[in-house]
Amino acid sequence: MCSKCARTLGGQGKIANGAQAPVWFKEGRWGEVCNYCVDDVTLERDLTVFVDKYGFVVNGKTGQVLRITR
């Protein structure tokens, strides 16, 4: 999930860029890797709940409303 999408849900955005996790892994910084993963999954869950409830999401770069239908 992009940080802009996370912020549109009322959050602060992601705690790091996804490219940072492999660097932390190679450096043995397991706490940061775990925190990043938990945060990312939580943001994805929140986005899914939002889409299920409201049926749309806003493109964080363009501001375009994207309707989600089943």
Question: Digits of tens for pLDDT over the chain (70 positions)?
Answer: 555 555 555 556 677 788 999 999 999 999 999 999 998 898 889 888 988 999 998 887 888 999 988 7
Select from 42, 45, 23, 43 the least CA-distant residue to 33: 23
Show the CA angle centred on residue 51, arms to residues 49 and 55, nearest 5°.
140
Q: Nearest to residue 57, comparing CAs of 66, 45, 49, 48?
A: 66
pLDDT at 5: 58
pLDDT value, residue 23? 95
